[in-house]
Amino acid sequence: MATKATPGWGDVKTKLAAFDRVGLLALVQNLYAASTDNKIFLHARLGLGDDPLEPYKDVIIRWINPPDFRNPISVAKAKKAISDDKKALGQPEGLAELTVFYCEEVFDFLAGCYIDAEGFYDALMRMFKQALEYVLALPAAQQTAFLVRLDRVRQLGQELGWGVGGDFNHFWSTAGLACGR
């Protein structure tokens, strides 16, 4: 019997239906052992550890603000941490925390060196906008601390080129927030 060239989720789901509890646990154990990403995902999804966001923050630091400046940076890999958290937990407060944290880490990185790459700053502007959207979707009582942090990021953005400050101010004012400076 011929099988499809590229199996999909439906094929996997059909095969999984035949597993018993022990077989399914063994499969999950194998996936857990197969990669760090799988471990992080399962820890977050199952609420294991003190801070389920910590591994995602570590990834953001590793790829946006590496401790050793000789290590490469990767916007895509840092953003993947936020996407992975969204798949694992998808909690609005966690997404707000990670997107604001990403923006803060960019400025921590820029405090030590300069990068001349338009894509890096474009990604920062998109992340700032996304962070603002996540924060404003939270209940009002949870927004304040995040908005204070984002306003600090907005103010730091005024010192950069690439139109960062202007875009930050535009997103801020479009959200109905007053620019303090």
pLDDT per residue over 66-79, tens digit each? 887 777 888 899 99
Short-list 89, 165, 71, 178, CA closest to 124: 165
Share of the chain above pLDDT 70, in %: 97
Instruction: Give the pLDDT score at 138.
Output: 94
Instruction: Give the pLDDT score at 180.
Output: 61
Instruction: Give the pLDDT score at 3.
Output: 60
What would the pLDDT profile of 89-123 be if each residue is shown by its tens digit?
A: 778 888 999 999 999 999 988 888 877 778 888 89
Decide: 136 and 144 in contact? Cβ < 8 Å: no
Instruction: Give the pLDDT score at 8.
Output: 85
Can you tell me whether residue 50 is helix, strand or coil?
coil
Mean pLDDT value across residues 142-159? 92
Q: Which residues neighbour 112 within 8 Å (Cβ) at sequence distance 6 or greater?
A: 69
